[in-house]
Structure 1
């Protein structure tokens, strides 16, 4: 059986591209030791949908992305843009030492 190599979460928690979402989803999956097929089953999506999400393809519906994220343990938060930098700084500080 192929070994799952854990990948890292994005250093910056600000999500501004599909590539950042893809990195977070893949990191959660690989750190949990889940193969693509197993994670797709867990999330109740097709293997191709998960592959597309991890590739950062923008055509996957937001609902499917949230379904996958919830199934594998990724959380997204919405905050006012006026507080973005303050929250980014606080989250970066909280993440120090966890990697």
Structure 2
């Protein structure tokens, strides 16, 4: 059986690129102890599609990305960009607090 090496969640909660989201999804998967094959099966997609999402490859359907994020326990939020800095500070503070708990 393949050994899964746990990856840390990104310290910055803001997602600016598909690669940023892919890193968060990879961290969630590895923290759960799942291999890419297991995660792909859980998400009902090919391993190739799943790996492409983790790598941040462009061209994957948004629906597939949202399914993977949900199934791997990665929450996504939408907010007005004018509130970005305030929300980013608040989320960062919450993430530090939850890591310490």
TM-score (norm 2): 0.93
Q: How many residues align?
A: 99
TM-score (norm 1): 0.95
Q: How does 1:20-99 map to 2 (within 5 A)?
A: 20-97=20-97, 98=99
Aligned residues: CA RMSD: 1.1
Query: Matched residues in 1 for 2:31 and 2:22: separation?
Result: 14
Q: Cα offset for 1:95?
A: 1.1
Query: Matched residues in 2 for 1:8 and 1:59: separation?
Result: 26
Deviations 1:3-28 (A, max 9, x none): 10010111111111111011011001
Q: Secondary structure of the equivalent of 1:83?
A: helix
Query: Matched residues in 2 for 1:8 and 1:60: separation?
Result: 24
